[in-house]
Structure 1
Amino acid sequence: MRTMGGEQVEEAVASAVALLRTAVDRDWETARAGRLEWSCRYTAEHVAGDLIAYAGQLAGRATDAYVPFEITFDEGTDNEGVLHVIETTCALLAATLRTTPREVRAFHPYPYRSANREGFASMGIAEVFLHTHDIAEGLGLAYEPPARLCADVLARLFPHVQPGPDPWRTLLWATGRGDLPGRAPVTEWRWRNNLVIPAERLTLQGVTPAAATDLAAGGDGGFEWVGSGPFQGTRDAATMLLKAYEGGVHRPEWGVFALVRREDGRAVGGMGFHGPPDEDGRVEIGYDLAEAARGHGYATEALRALSAWALAREEVTSVFATTEPANVASQAVITRAGFTRVAGDEGQDEGQLAYELRG
């Protein structure tokens, strides 16, 4: 799986600074940065502030708020000095990303109040790309960041946005900075780090389109798996997620979750929804476990946690699950999680047993 880490942040900053360095003799203080209300100078300082803030969140293991600090520039700092600060804060973020364990999450408000190192790397790159675009527009410069990195940012931070043939134009459109044929202009936006739902021994970690792409292709999705890796059901679910993403109908909170053990950070299975709630408020759940993780109650624990999360949503009235009559182990998981057997309905495959949990 392609990673998002220190190397990618350094690549993004290097290309941006190289362009801006061609205009250090210009007046950045009076030039407005594109569609923003900020000057080009203030926008550049904002980039440096974001990079060091993200490093601070991870290094400080902040869980409830931003670490209460900010950087200031010495009086008389020129444009070249501002770029030097951006390069320096980039180096600090890159170093932090390289030394932060995968399972560490730190506070960020959008939208689920946390992000892991990959999320902070992606946000750092997005800040660099988007605000370099703003500055370049204000100064009359042409800017085109690497398409590969733009696609990676979209697949991690904009899972609700249908990808387009041009990742950079899609990213600009998704953040209210451009137009795309056939799509309405964007006036309000937020990126979305993945949802993580806590359980007793597990965390249920939302699978991003980037991870789903790798899982569907036979990779590990960026997770360390027990045994021989994810069961086929998890790969099939990732394929369905990917199709929804490519079709522009993916709702990440109703997607797929990797079940990750707290004690060692290893994934033991997958669980997720077949889609968002229907018009009756019913949502269906499916799951599987890697063979090496079966018999420890992980599936029951995860099913309870994910069902409780779903039933806490206003649009959900019931959670639905089906299993084969011969799959006694799966039936035991469902009943231990509090589900009760119900009669089959029109949407149920013939020969399956149906179970429901109501709020």
Structure 2
Amino acid sequence: MGGDYVTESVAGCLAALRPAVERDWTKVRAAGLEWNCHETAVHIADDLIAYAANLAGRAQDAYVPFELKLDEGTDNAGLLHVIETTGALLAAAVRTAPRETRAFHPYPFRSANREGFAAMGIAEVVLHTRDLAGGLGLAYEPPSALAEFVLTRLFPHVQPGPDHWRTLLWATGRGELPGRTPLTEWRWNNNLVLSADRLTLQGITPAAARDLVAGGDGGFEWIDGGPFDGTREASGFLLKAYEGGVHRPEFGVFALVRREDGRAIGGIGFHGAPDEEGRAEIGYDLVEGGRGNGYATEALRALSQWALARDDVRTLFATVERDNLPSQAVVTRAGFRKVSEVEEGLAYELRD
């Protein structure tokens, strides 16, 4: 789907800009930007090929070191052909990248998966096509599905609005929405991924959460019996927070994915952002076939270490049912200590 959406976004860009192909784009400023229209169009192509290169080349620490340079004398028609070609390369990279592939991107967690690169490419295309069209006096509006794809992958912190395109414009400082303060600064968010010895903890996006709630796999390949009901329920809470505009993705839900085979075995995450005292609650579950191997302890240690290294987290706690002895052993091995008994069960705590 991501590759097809990249292709669709580029096709819409070409269709919108071709009526002005005979004009001098170097003499027209793109709407809302310091660049002229020629510079903006080159920027689109430059981002598309950079994303394709990083994803296909599995870059880990920086962008692949090369620069896009047009041949001298390239006209606007040739520039559009470059955008078409670089878009095709990104679409191909997205379609062929293995599920677990992640590559470098600086914001905000220094990596992105194939859906993230697709969403970033689409964002660059549709937003800057809008800027170009505005400067050139052309009509342009992408399909709503493209804007929704970007919002649910890159803007999990932005409350969805009734119109996906206008919400994306607002989220990128390009428009207004009733009841919301206009933005002068913005940044997108690829999903956070944390590393453990045998697992990766992969942040679940609103798009993945919606699919899990609907009975799908959320884009993960699960072992038999997965995902467990607890992961679907937690995804429902994530989706509710997203729709309410209070979701903080770093304090959301993570899928537990085995390094050895790329298959998901469970979920772990927070019940919400830390409170004013820096307290946050953690919950987790495993598919039955993944239990008894120490995975839950490993995941809980990794997530706890990451959380307590933050300035806004001082205490983590978890509630375990009284008769759930395996889970009590998990929290104890992860360093939590029992502090009280509550109606829901036994309360455990881990302090910075």
Aligned to 2:208: 211
Separation in 2, partners of 1:264, 1:169: 40
- Matched-pair identity in %: 72
Can you list the C-alpha shifts for 1:164-213, whole angstroms capped at 9, x where unaligned? 01000000000000000100000001100000000000000000000000
- Are the aligned partners of 2:320 and 2:344 in contact in 1 as well (CA < 8 Å)? no
Report SS of the residue matched to 1:172. Answer: helix
Q: Give the structure-2-normalised TM-score.
A: 0.99
Separation in 2, partners of 1:164, 1:195: 24
Q: Give the structure-1-normalised TM-score.
A: 0.97
Matched, 1:180 2:171: no
Separation in 2, partners of 1:210, 1:160: 13
Matched, 1:274 2:267: no
Can you list the C-alpha shifts for 1:51-93, whole angstroms capped at 9, x where unaligned? 0000110121110111110110111111000000001111111
Can you list the C-alpha shifts for 1:315-341, whole angstroms capped at 9, x where unaligned? 111110001001111101110111100
Separation in 1, partners of 2:90, 2:244: 34
Aligned to 1:303: 300
- Give how far 1:351 is off: 4.2
Aligned amino acid, residue 142 of structure 2: P
Aligned to 1:94: 91
- Give how far 1:279 is off: 1.2
Matches within 5 A, 1:247-262: 247-262=244-259
Unpaired runs of 5+ in structure 2?
Answer: none
Report SS of the residue matched to 1:63. Answer: coil
The equivalent position to 1:59 in structure 2, one of 56, 75, 78, is 56
| Equivalent pairs, count | 352
Aligned to 2:18: 21
Separation in 1, partners of 2:234, 2:21: 50
The equivalent position to 1:166 in structure 2, one of 163, 166, 169, is 163
Unpaired runs of 5+ in structure 1?
Answer: none
Matched, 1:315 2:281: no
Matches within 5 A, 1:78-227: 78-227=75-224
Can you list the C-alpha shifts for 1:83-123, whole angstroms capped at 9, x where unaligned? 00001111111111122111111000000000011100000
Report SS of the residue matched to 1:163. Answer: coil
- Give how far 1:228 is off: 2.1
Separation in 1, partners of 2:68, 2:149: 29
- Give how far 1:20 is off: 0.5
Separation in 1, partners of 2:177, 2:94: 33
Matched, 1:356 2:349: yes
Separation in 1, partners of 2:344, 2:131: 58
Can you list the C-alpha shifts for 1:121-156, whole angstroms capped at 9, x where unaligned? 000000000000000000011111010111111000
- Are the aligned partners of 2:201 and 2:254 in contact in 1 as well (CA < 8 Å)? yes
Can you list the C-alpha shifts for 1:249-271, whole angstroms capped at 9, x where unaligned? 00000000000000110000000
Separation in 1, partners of 2:276, 2:87: 47
Aligned amino acid, residue 357 of structure 1: L
Matched, 1:40 2:37: yes
- Are the aligned partners of 2:315 and 2:350 in contact in 1 as well (CA < 8 Å)? yes
